[in-house]
Amino acid sequence: MGEQASATTDMTAILPELRVVAGLLFDAVGRVLLAQRPVGREDAGLWEFPGGKLEVDETAFAALRRELIEELGVEIASGAPLIRVPQRQPRRLLWLDAIEVRDWRGEPRALEAQALRWLAPADIDPNALPAADRPILACLRQPAHYWISPEAVAKPALMEAWFAAATAAGARRLQLRVPSLDSEARAALARLAAERAQALGIELLLNARGPEDLELARALGCGAQLSRTLLMRLDQRPQLPCIGASCHDPVSLRRAESLGCDFALLSPVLPTLSHPEAQPLGWSGFSTLRAGTSLPVYALGGVGPADLVAARAAGAQGVAGIRGFFPDADD
């Protein structure tokens, strides 16, 4: 109790804010430009997406346009907001706006003597980036939508309908969550879902509340979505293709990051039918907790695909849900 109260207090302490912008310049083959932070600067030696600080009353796009002319000698014509990352640092709260740029003129040159390199997003090591840049990379590599199954998928017709809807929507990541089933029925359903997901080329995670769920995931070649209870009990990352963590507070978010999870779910963001008694975080509360980790974090609870813009503005990797994605969840 003391640890959680202290963590919450730390998260809500008022710090001076610094607004910065980063540009994701893509070349014709899909590589993105990185610049190395020079000796003598914070995070020296790490690689970052080029950009800089916003001046007073300057928009993120105007600041990026100015910075890229000064740093690289290139002029951008347009850009699309990708994510706004809040990052809590020892003496300040950083707000980093990331903007995708695919329309630009000029040849990037190291006008400030920084090293430059072009890399495909899949080839970038997240540990080579500053903490605030890692969620930006995650947005390029991980899906924005995370589908969670309703209990009704235990019925074969609903299982097929759920997979059909997810496939039609272009889903790349699904979670099978059927806590009401006994272990034998849950394992049988998981085998069917794993076969279906593998045939479709979709990543499947099994909801994991105990060691037996992790063993099942390992046997089926699936990932696992750790419950908060299981997350806090583990002392090392399970050896599975993908690990998600279900979080509700700063303590569990820190645990997920230290364990080496691939992403976290943070909930509830908005009021939900499944947990009407839970106090929602709201987007402001989500952003405050999100600022304490460099993990990709999905918003969960009362959200759906239509909330992606709001979620990205609060620093989310994307949105996750049941009814918001599959309206037939209660059939």
Provide the pLDDT confidence category of residue 10 given band limits of 50, 70 and 90: low
One domain, residues 129 and 83 = yes
Question: Model-level pTM?
Answer: 0.91
> What is the spatial distance between Cα 187 and Cα 202, in angstroms, rounded to a whole number?
19
- Give yes or no: residues 188 and 251 share one domain: yes
Verify that 180 and 309 share a domain, yes or no. yes
Co-location of 186 and 301 in the same domain = yes
Q: Is the pLDDT of residue 9 over 50?
A: no
Domain that holds residue 100: 13-141
Mean pLDDT over each residue of the chain, to the nearest integer: 93
At residue 330 the predicted structure's pLDDT band, cuts being 50, 70 and 90, is low
103, 199: one domain: no
Q: Is the pLDDT of residue 7 over 50?
A: no
Alpha-carbon distance 101 to 125, whole Å? 21
CATH number for the domain that contains residue 101: 3.90.79.10
State whether 162 and 85 are in the same domain.
Answer: no
DSSP 166-194: HHHTT--EEEE--TTS-HHHHHHHHHHHH
Rounded Cα gap, residues 42 and 138, in angstroms: 22
Which pLDDT does position 13 carry in this prediction? 65
Is residue 3 a part of any domain in this protein?
no
pLDDT of 120 higher than 80? yes
Query: Do 109 and 185 share a structural domain?
Result: no
Asked if 129 and 48 count as a contact pair (C-beta separation under 8 A), the reply is yes
Residues constituting the chain: 331
Identify the domain boundary among 141, 173, 195.
141
Same domain for 132 and 209, yes or no, is no
CB atoms within 10 A of CB 102: 15
Q: Are residues 204 and 255 in the same domain?
A: yes
Distances (CA, A) of 118 to 43, 232, 240, 298: 20, 39, 30, 28
Checking if the pLDDT of 5 tops 60, the result is no
The confidence score (pLDDT) of residue 67 equals: 97
The answer to whether position 4 is within a domain reads no
Pair (109, 181) in one structural domain: no
Could you read off the pLDDT of 227-244 as tens digits, one per residue?
A: 999 999 999 999 999 999
User: Is 163 within a domain?
Assistant: yes
Identify whether 243 is part of a domain: yes
Query: Of 169, 176, 145, 168, whose CA–CA distance to 311 is shortest?
Result: 145
Q: What is the pLDDT of residue 1?
A: 36
In a domain, residue 2? The reply is no
pLDDT grade for 2, boundaries at 50, 70 and 90: very low
Total structural domains within the chain: 2
Report if residue 95 sits inside a domain. Answer: yes
- Last residue within a domain, chosen from 141, 172, 207: 141
Omega of the bond leading into 268 within 30 degrees of 0 (cis): yes
Inside any domain, residue 35: yes
Helix, strand, coil % (nearest 5) of the chain? 35, 25, 35
Q: Does 5 map to a domain?
A: no
Closest by CA to 158, choosing from 210, 124, 196, is: 196
Are 176 and 265 in the same domain?
A: yes
Give the tens place of pLDDT for each residue, 39-83: 888 889 999 999 999 999 999 999 999 999 999 999 999 999 999
Domain match, 174 and 302 both: yes
> Which of 126, 141, 156 is the C-terminal boundary of a domain?
141
Give the CATH number for residue 304: 3.20.20.70
pLDDT at 179 over 80: yes
Model confidence band, residue 4 (pLDDT cutoffs 50, 70, 90): very low
